[in-house]
Structure 1
């Protein structure tokens, strides 16, 4: 539906092969019998094949002329680099932030153990020192150190005002960086263009792998030149780069990432094998029982 809405019949015929390929990925029909995980081949025409700087080539495809166009409100609204894991997302974001013009502003969080943890008689303060808490990186919390520049795209990490479109996953563009508030413009969802002010907020992680409760007070933001696939569902983009340094690991992830664009010319994949070598094969996870 995303590929065909608003197009005339001649254009629909031109993209027929691409739409059928996407549907086959979504239904697990490629790579032989698939009821779980299987390896599929990706067509060469949508692959990044630069052996010298493949990551740079992917960035240049998604963000061409970024230094000249970043002031255009729609520029970041229409494009993104996607990856299955946060560690790859951070790698791309750090590289693009370094390239981005302007002065960096660094914000450090205030981390503390929740008072409920002190009920234990054997509480050991050394296990929960500030250095330990600051070093924790949790998917639903901002990092201890948040580095921003004016103009960069960021993602909201918690629900603030759902009625006005300020939900977890909403993308914004930084307008100004103050000591106590950050001003930003909404660039995704139903309130595009609205300007908002974001204060520091206290949050606790929901991940069960964290065996104790702690609180982090920080601006609920993360740089989002790149983002994990799960954060981009239900959005349409003009350009998408998919970086598969590690294969997808959950049901339908590959299909969700590939189906964000409206034509195959607006999509590129960078796939690395376990040795870090360029490849045209990757995993697709589909469970037939869902159908």
Structure 2
């Protein structure tokens, strides 16, 4: 996600320090990542500006050697031989999409045939259909930890994530309990003491849904599993070695 100007600045600095005209002053630099999946963030940038900011658009890229992995070991750990073959086929299909090999020659827009086993057919409620496909018999397996370790849903936006969570919550029996956060703006943060505090009312603050921050409203039911993405007790995590390893794992 780093802008190409950062690497170009590093290249110029290395040349000046090492008194060499070679790329990065003759030092070997290794770049890691998948440029088809993670792109630089350009605020309010167009598609052309984002593409122009990636490493592939830099003069450095023409002097790089591209090394490709031949085996996806992470997807093959703990799987049966039959599942490994299916995983290989899906991985190859996804890579072909990223390289533009699916759908024939195109200029950025093409029609892609999705395999039948990955396609959700037309239905009245596609979200429920997707939940039933990924989490079959979720009410009977809600207390099984391995059940959730082997399944997951990916969504492009936070709005879709919230919608899927709400629909999943509706499947569980019981009365929902709603918890609201207590948000306020410190007066010391005001630029002017005469600013109307109603401009930063609790309703406005609770209406903000920012990535990386928990939602101001939390709805729970008895027996519904909850996933914590961060360790909220850092002091205890640092106190013991076990907690410290857990803290590192949760922060990765």
TM-score scaled by length of structure 2: 0.55
User: Cα–Cα, structure 1 residues 70 and 119, in superposed 2: closer, same or farther, change >3 Å?
Assistant: same
1:51 aligns with 2:123: yes
User: Cα–Cα, structure 1 residues 71 and 5, in superposed 2: closer, same or farther, change >3 Å?
Assistant: closer
Higher RCO (CA < 8 A, seq sep 6+): 1
User: What corresponds to 1:165 in structure 2?
Assistant: 246
User: What corresponds to 1:129 in structure 2?
Assistant: 201
User: Cα–Cα, structure 1 residues 119 and 6, in superposed 2: closer, same or farther, change >3 Å?
Assistant: closer
User: What corresponds to 1:22 in structure 2?
Assistant: 94
Distance 1:32 1:115 in 2: 60
Deviation at 1:25, TM superposition (A): 3.0
Distance 2:229 2:187 in 1: 24
Distance 2:90 2:206 in 1: 46
Deviation at 1:31, TM superposition (A): 4.0
Deviation at 1:84, TM superposition (A): 0.4
1:141 aligns with 2:213: yes
1:85 aligns with 2:157: yes
User: Cα–Cα, structure 1 residues 114 and 77, in superposed 2: closer, same or farther, change >3 Å?
Assistant: farther
Give the RMSD, CA atoms, in angstroms.
3.3
Deviation at 1:106, TM superposition (A): 1.9
Deviations 1:74-104 (A, max 9, x none): 2222212221011111111111111112332
Would you tell me which structure has more strand in proportion to its own residues? Answer: 1
Distance 1:95 1:10 in 2: 33
TM-score scaled by length of structure 1: 0.49
Deviation at 1:135, TM superposition (A): 1.9
Deviation at 1:114, TM superposition (A): 3.3
SS at structure 2 position matched to 1:107 = strand
User: What corresponds to 2:226 in structure 1?
Assistant: 154
Could you list the runs of 5+ residues in structure 1 that have no partner in the other structure? 171-188, 190-233, 235-291
Deviation at 1:20, TM superposition (A): 1.8
Deviation at 1:26, TM superposition (A): 4.1
User: What corresponds to 1:67 in structure 2?
Assistant: 139
User: Cα–Cα, structure 1 residues 39 and 152, in superposed 2: closer, same or farther, change >3 Å?
Assistant: farther
